[in-house]
Copies of this chain bind each other. A is one copy, B any other.
Amino acid sequence: MTSWVSSANGDTDFPIENLPYGVFDDGAGPRMGVAIGAFVLDVGKIKHGLDPALFAEPTWNAVMAAGPTVWAELRERLTALLSDETHRAAVEPHLVPLEKVALLMPFRVSEYTDFYAGRHHAFNVGTMFRGAENALPPNWLSIPIGYNGRASSVVVSGTPVRRPWGQIKRPEDELPRFAPSARFDIELEMAAIVGQPSDGMVSVAEADAMIFGYVMLNDWSARDIQAWEYQPLGPFQAKATATTISPWIVPKAALEPFRVSTPTRERELLPYLQEPGPMLYDIALSVALAPEGKPETVIARTNYREMYYSAAQQLAHHTTSGCPMRVGDLLGSGTISGPEKENRGSMLELSWGGKEPLTLETGEIRQFLEDGDTVILRGAAVGNGYRIGFGEARGTILPALKLQD
């Protein structure tokens, strides 16, 4: 399919098949937008035929709450408006060049849950901490392990990230010190956005239907803070500095052609977790790192299909206790690594706990992140002659604050 927006038809993250949802500001205040080629469509200004109340606030929560029928209607209408030349005169005045806008948080995060569903990541991290024989925790092949994160710390791509302070006890220390993190890291993840609420247990199929769309997610992690704090109740301040998401919610509908199955099970899943169909997606992902003032080096390439559990499985598991889910809940997939060294989605794995430092193309050496480093996640589902792009999830490390005595 082609669009009358010519930049949507070539080498772009945002062809007519994508139509992702974001919030932008061109200087005239934040509004809801849809990306198409090199432009963002000011969607509240066009004749979309839907309830204007859905576009009253600069966030996609109201559209999500309106439910799957509205999601389908909106997407159908946008596709018609942007592909059919007869609508061009009415719509074109409401296209704003992407290069002239700031992209803001596309939705209000209700709560944020982060999972640990990457087989390679769990094995790598477990091997470092417990040895290869005991790498996977006993529950890992049965449960999509997750923990509650901190919604207030979720930020949109481009927001600088301040190196955190925290309690740190190095192996050579007897007692902890309060110091800036020296092992500040990334985690390459995808995340599902819950678009419909639930009250009580839902099946995997119902969970899949509740998902509105997907973004990329970087779960910034202070490994030294985490190592000292995480027993017995899990990561807390190590993961609370910031979590960066990409600015465009790619609709689940745009990803339909890219569905793939989760891998063969090493242990049969309990029935409530078994999938009635393919619920992962073939999405190529990369991580680039640019030291301050230097060009970037791609340090990892992997694919969302490497995950052991899908977002639908994670969401179904999330409801087993009766936990109510709400519109705007954000579910991080867990770090996405692949089988090879170059597929690892964290610096902890890439530098093997700091023991095997990375050398960037510009010559810099890295174990973990340095002040001034910029990390950029990129991702796309690559179709026949087009790609469903996620844009970027980018963040630059600011030095830790100086504390007063």
Using a CB–CB cutoff of 8 Å, the interface residues on chain A facing chain B are 110-111, 116, 137-139, 142-143, 145-153, 162, 164-167, 169, 175-178, 200-201, 222, 225, 228-238, 240-242, 267, 270-272, 317-318, 320-326, 401, 403
Contact = CB atoms under 8 A, between A and B. Distances in A.
A323 B152 contact: yes
Given A175-B267, A272-B178, A232 B321 contact: no
Nearest to A325: B152
Nearest to A227: B139
Contacts of A164: 320-322
Contacts of A169: 139
A123 to B, nearest CB: 13
A139 B227 CA distance: 10
B145 A148 contact: no
**10 closest pairs, A vs B, by CB?**
A234-B234, A240-B323, A148-B148, A237-B321, A147-B233, A164-B321, A233-B234, A240-B321, A152-B324, A241-B321
Contacts of A321: 164-166, 222, 225, 237-238, 240-241
Contacts of A234: 147, 230, 232-235
Nearest to A145: B233
B229 A320 contact: no
Contacts of A111: 111, 150-152
A201 B165 contact: yes
A169 B325 CA distance: 25
A312 to B, nearest CB: 16
A137 B232 contact: yes
Given A145-B229, A240-B323, 7 more contacts: A111-B111, A139-B176, A139-B228, A142-B175, A147-B147, A176-B270, A238-B321
A322 B147 contact: no
29 contacts: A116-B232, A138-B231, A139-B228, A139-B229, A139-B231, A142-B176, A145-B229, A146-B233, A147-B147, A147-B148, A148-B148, A148-B150, A148-B236, A153-B323, A164-B320, A165-B201, A165-B321, A166-B320, A177-B270, A178-B271, A222-B321, A234-B234, A234-B235, A237-B321, A237-B323, A238-B321, A240-B322, A240-B323, A241-B321
